[in-house]
Structure 1
Amino acid sequence: MPFTSPTRLLLVAATSAVLAAPAAAQGLRPSAAFFQTGGGDDGVSATASLGASWDWAWRQAALGGEFSAATELVATLLQADRVGGGQRTYVQLGLVPVLRYRFGAGRSPWFVEGGIGLSVMDRKLETPEKSQGSAWNFSDNLAVGRNFGARNEHELSLRWQHTSNAGIQEPNPGFDMFFVRYAARF
């Protein structure tokens, strides 16, 4: 049963509060906030996301660079073609641990990163081209980016996200989205 707009907003707010509560209870402030926009494939035409990330204390020198990790919480609005014509808006929430590799012994402004996490949508994605079997999915993410600014506090990255349920619920065609992200580090 599709959610109405007020119900969808309540679902987003409640889920965000539940996911953010452990961090708030521990006094953990996000390391960065971000906005990303882009598009997708097979009927997913426009997307916009807001999110936050929390850096982990773990760092590891390897392969001439440095590995680090973070956890991201992201809310995305997707605009997709509706079966029968028109457009439909979907809300996707994701929680993704991300592994980042920074070049030059960790001193380079350039990085690559990837992560696999969980996502939930307010309803199963259905476009004229495909139908997802579940609103619960996995989110695979890859990115390349660069920091800039006096303290490297700004970040731009190009990102690819694949969403599917790994065959847990059929059909499972998955869908891809491509983003440009701006992040402000605190």
Structure 2
Amino acid sequence: MKKKKNWNEKALPAQRAGTLRNRPWWLALFLAVSVAAPGTALAFGDQARGVYFDAGGVPVADLDVGTWVAGIGVLLPWKLDALPAGGAHSFYWDLFLNNWNAQDDFDSHTNFAQVGAALYWRYRFDEGRSPWYGELGLGGSLMDRLYHTPERQFSTRFQFTEAIGMGLSLGDHGQHELGLRIQHFSNADIRLPNPGETFLRLRYAYRF
């Protein structure tokens, strides 16, 4: 008698290929800029502590079936003593608390809580003098329970996260920040299925 395959087994090749194809360049790029960064930016409040609120969702055509996310967080500068002061580069820790609002199996919506931390590298254009910046982040998170929708099923509460974004500093000392980023969550195939989830997020931050 032939063994009947369940939906998890059928999904393994595509999910594994997608995850392994996308992840290496994120990690390699993050490590490369971390090692090569020659300095830390002092202008525009990049080395000041801050708090933020952000919100976003999964880019889909039908807004009724998409997952929405809202979060708050604390920004803690990470200063490297080996690097000279000034320049276009800086690092900071992002400690965050998120709420995911997703469709469930009964055409209603349910919430998933998430906590996590990520280390960001920021590059400020024009050798640190521009109000515009780009950044990359890498970290981990933990959800209160397994995330699931009619289309996606996570197999672990723990998820890695990678983010890429850009933004603009406003105010006399750059204390106000508006940023847009793409953030991905998945478990790096610790356990399958591993469909992952990707959000487009708008963030407002205030630096003290």
- After TM superposition, the structure 1 = structure 2 runs for residues 69-88 of structure 1, keeping only pairs within 5 Å, are 69-88=91-110
Q: Distance in 2 between matches of 1:150 and 1:161?
A: 29
Structure whose CA Rg is larger:
2
Which residue identity does 2:54 align to in structure 1?
Answer: Q
On the 8 A contact 1:70/1:97 being kept in 2, the answer is: yes
8 Å CA contact 1:41–1:175 kept in 2: the answer is: no
Tell me the residue number matched to 1:13.
Answer: none
> Would you tell me which structure has more strand in proportion to its own residues?
1
Aligned counterpart, 1:148 = 170
> Which residue in 1 is equivalent to 2:190?
168
Partner of 2:56: 38
Alignment of 1:1-186 (within 5 A): 31-40=49-58, 43-58=65-80, 66-186=88-208
**What is the DSSP-based 3-state SS (H/G/I as helix, E as strand, rest coil) of the residue aligned with 2:94?**
strand
Count of paired positions: 154
What is the CA–CA distance in structure 2 between the aligned matches of 1:138 and 1:99, rounded to whole Å? 17
Following superposition, the deviation at residue 115 of structure 1 comes to 1.0
* 1:32 alignment partner AA: G
Counting aligned pairs with the same residue, the percent is 35
How far did 1:84 drift?
2.9
- Aligned-residue offset at 1:44: 4.2
Unaligned runs of 5+ in 2: 1-47
- C-alpha distance in 1 between matches for 2:133 and 2:78: 16
Between the aligned partners of 1:116 and 1:44, the Cα distance in structure 2 is 24
AA at the equivalent of 2:141? S
Counterpart of 1:16 in structure 2 is none
Structure 1's unaligned 5+ residue stretches are 1-29
What is the SS of the residue equivalent to 1:163?
Answer: strand
- If the length of structure 2 is used for normalisation, what is the TM-score? 0.70
Residues in 1 aligned to 2:136 and 2:191: alpha-carbon distance in whole angstroms = 24
State how far apart, in whole Å, the 1-side matches of 2:54 and 2:156 are. Answer: 24
TM-score by length of 1: 0.78
The letter for the 2-side match of 1:75 is L
Report the structure, 1 or 2, having the larger helix content: 2
One-letter code aligned to 1:33 = V
Asked if 2 retains the 8 angstrom alpha-carbon contact of 1:49 and 1:75, the reply is yes
